[in-house]
């Protein structure tokens, strides 16, 4: 544990913690995944279930994770282990999850880099859906390009983690994050002012209850975990650096609020434009890459907007990917006594190799199914969002609720005599609501995955 605590940069202020944790939470999950997942899962119905899970599961778990981290002052594996040796496997599960998420996250990170370059060249200046779809398809059909850009994304992530320049990232976050927020609000206004945008608003906010099915429920839960970075130890690790005098009730409220705000605004920037330009709402992962360039092309200074936007998306993606790589690297440093630089290079290489088939999934491996009807990209995504992260969240709730006990957790939360008016509700949720609810959905996700694999 010692080495990682010494070599890992920590933040000096609460703002540092908020920025790093918010940096991990706000990323491609909000800007890219949320809008297309809403699109594929019936719009308002999905949003409603998402919000319910956010309040009942996401928020209580965020507080539980920060509390566990700050109480033990150890990274994920150590935090569990220091309280009960038999629970170290939860930390390990998180590490495994980090490999799988980064394997497909880096694919999309690569897409962002490619789009940034295309934006600079002025090649995205059109509202023609066929042309925009062609740009995307041509790119992902090229194995060399997909892999090269994925490698570039991973390389930058690696450099940040190994060179320990997170201090610089933290400082940059203070400018980048607010700028990103302002930009997507402006883009959302533009999108909302397009003809026929109202159809998009209706789609996003008016729930059609008949659309709610098991799939929507599983995907909404997965999206809550993915978007908040909960269930793989990132938040526990980041919480371990938080000073005892900071108010963790407030900290764990800001982050879900900010994360949800960004996701909603990203939805408002994308979905109305999809209806206005008559694009396909359920097209999946390509949605952001096809729709937003069209929005930029329809606004003044669109060329500049497009460039700045992709720079900021890249930044947001990197602040998330470094949090994942950090969890994996610190595990090997702490548990296996490997040198930080050595673990970082090997882990990045393994993730790169795992990521190659994910990068090719929509191109030359389009018709290749890894398991049943799932290609690599979908498999990594489903395995992590629907199985690993909920499982990590379920175990976190059991751990904080019953092993650490909510009584001890509450003592940590209110260590400076903070008023926690929701304390009874929080304990109730952590002990009696989160575990059974997540468990039931998890069992169904496993069943579903099994069916997809065997089909």
Q: Which residues bind ligand PFF (CB under 6 A)?
A: 24-25, 27-30, 101, 226-227, 229, 232, 234, 320, 323-324
Paired tokens of 429 = 């949720």
List of residues 6+ apart from 410 with CB closer than 8 A:
420, 423, 427
Taking the complex as a whole, the smallest distance from the CB of residue 176 to ligand PFF amounts, in Å, to: 15
Nearest Cα to 180, choosing from 304, 313, 270? 313
Taking the complex as a whole, the smallest distance from the CB of residue 213 to ligand PFF amounts, in Å, to: 24
Taking the complex as a whole, the smallest distance from the CB of residue 439 to ligand PFF amounts, in Å, to: 20
Nearer to ligand PFF, 197 or 347 (CB): 347
Taking the complex as a whole, the smallest distance from the CB of residue 422 to ligand PFF amounts, in Å, to: 24
- Long-range contacts of residues 182-185, Cβ cutoff 8 Å, at least 24 apart: 183/305, 183/308, 183/309, 183/312, 184/31, 184/262, 184/265, 184/266, 184/269, 184/309, 185/265
Taking the complex as a whole, the smallest distance from the CB of residue 266 to ligand PFF amounts, in Å, to: 10
Taking the complex as a whole, the smallest distance from the CB of residue 230 to ligand PFF amounts, in Å, to: 7
Nearer to ligand PFF, 188 or 328 (CB): 328
Nearer to ligand PFF, 194 or 318 (CB): 318
Return the bridge partners of 374, or none. Answer: 371
Nearest Cα to 62, choosing from 221, 325, 322, 248? 248
CA angle (236, 82, 3) in 5-degree steps: 70
Nearer to ligand PFF, 240 or 297 (CB): 240
Paired tokens of 432 = 């009696």
Place of tokens 């434009």: 273
Nearer to ligand PFF, 24 or 252 (CB): 24
Is the Cα torsion angle 197, 201, 204, 209 positive or negative in sign?
negative
Nearer to ligand PFF, 227 or 386 (CB): 227
Q: How far is CA 336 from CA 91, 97, 241, 382, in A?
A: 14, 18, 22, 29
In the bound state, the residue with its beta carbon closest to ligand PFF is 29
Nearer to ligand PFF, 118 or 381 (CB): 381
Nearer to ligand PFF, 242 or 427 (CB): 242
Taking the complex as a whole, the smallest distance from the CB of residue 142 to ligand PFF amounts, in Å, to: 25
Taking the complex as a whole, the smallest distance from the CB of residue 228 to ligand PFF amounts, in Å, to: 6
User: Quick check: helix, strand or coil at residue 374?
Assistant: strand
Neighbours of 145 (CB within 10 A): 17
Paired tokens of 208 = 């059609």
Instruction: Give the whole-angstrom CA distance, residue 400 versus residue 403.
Output: 6
Place of tokens 């089909």: 455
């Amino acid at each position: 544990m010692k080495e990682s605590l010494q070599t890992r940069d920590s933040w000096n202020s609460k703002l540092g913690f908020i920025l790093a944790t918010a940096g991990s939470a706000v990323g491609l999950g909000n800007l890219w995944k949320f809008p297309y997942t809403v699109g594929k899962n019936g719009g308002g119905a999905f949003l409603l279930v998402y919000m319910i899970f956010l309040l009942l599961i996401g928020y209580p778990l965020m507080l539980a994770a920060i509390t566990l981290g700050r109480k033990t002052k150890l990274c994920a594996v150590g935090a569990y282990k220091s309280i009960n040796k038999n629970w170290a496997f939860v930390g390990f599960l998180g590490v495994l999850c980090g490999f799988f998420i980064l394997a497909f996250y880096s694919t999309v990170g690569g897409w962002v880099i490619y789009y940034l370059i295309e934006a600079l060249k002025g090649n995205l200046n059109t509202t023609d859906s066929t042309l925009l779809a062609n740009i995307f398809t041509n790119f992902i059909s090229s194995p060399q390009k997909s892999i090269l850009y994925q490698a570039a994304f991973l390389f930058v992530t690696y450099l940040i983690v190994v060179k320990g320049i997170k201090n610089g990232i933290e400082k940059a976050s203070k400018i980048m994050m607010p700028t990103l927020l302002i930009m997507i609000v402006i883009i959302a206004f533009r999108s909302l002012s397009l003809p026929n945008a109202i159809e998009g608003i209706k789609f996003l906010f008016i729930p059609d209850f008949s659309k709610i099915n098991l799939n929507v429920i599983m995907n909404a839960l997965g999206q809550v975990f993915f978007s908040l970075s909960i269930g793989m130890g990132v938040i526990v690790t980041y919480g371990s650096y938080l000073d005892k005098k900071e108010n963790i009730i407030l900290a764990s409220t800001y982050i879900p609020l900010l994360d949800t705000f960004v996701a909603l605004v990203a939805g408002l920037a994308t979905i109305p434009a999809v209806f206005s330009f008559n694009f396909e709402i359920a097209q999946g992962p390509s949605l952001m890459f096809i729709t937003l360039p069209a929005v930029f092309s329809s606004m003044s200074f669109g060329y500049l907007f497009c460039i700045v936007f992709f720079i900021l998306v890249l930044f947001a993606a990197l602040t998330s990917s470094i949090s994942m790589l950090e969890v994996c690297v610190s595990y090997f440093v702490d548990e296996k006594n490997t040198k930080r630089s050595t673990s970082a290079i090997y882990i990045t290489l393994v993730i790169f190799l795992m990521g190659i088939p994910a990068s090719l999934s929509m191109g030359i491996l389009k018709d290749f199914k890894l398991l049943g009807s799932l290609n690599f990209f979908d498999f990594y995504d489903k395995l992590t969002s629907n199985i690993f992260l909920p499982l990590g969240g379920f175990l976190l709730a059991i751990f904080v609720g019953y092993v650490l006990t909510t009584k001890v957790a509450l003592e940590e939360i209110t260590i400076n005599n903070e008023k926690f008016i929701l304390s009874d509700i929080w304990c109730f949720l952590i002990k009696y609501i989160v575990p059974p609810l997540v468990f039931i959905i998890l069992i169904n996700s496993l069943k579903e995955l099994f069916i997809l694999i065997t089909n």
